[in-house]
Structure 1
């Protein structure tokens, strides 16, 4: 991010995309972001940030589920 003018549009667009598709491909991310104009960046860092966010979110969900299931299995044992 440099000037910050396009940031709100990117954030809202990505939030909408991830609500419909929690693990989008690079192509799907590019397609969704195509309506947002940014003069400061080549979009690569934005796409990388979306992918990293998806990976972090997925790993947190998996950890939460594993922890929850593990606790329940311990209680059943």
Structure 2
């Protein structure tokens, strides 16, 4: 299964997501940003969501940024089991 890499940063009320080699999209929440990134890949690459995953690195500035990154790492490692 192919994994698409993406980065996301805040712009006002939106998470702007750039999927490498595919394009950009946005969402108000991290969950919506994840869904929109998957929709973008599915449409642009003409593949079904069952054929790929999207891994987003959320750039979270400020004191919570490190906590968010640690939570993402823990979640990713648990999902890999």
For this structure pair, what is the TM-score category when the shorter chain's length is used for normalisation? 0.3 to 0.5
Larger Rg: 1
More helix by share: 1
Quick check: which one's strand share is greater? 2
**TM-score, structure 1 normalization:** 0.35
Q: Report the TM-score, using the length of structure 2 for normalisation.
A: 0.33
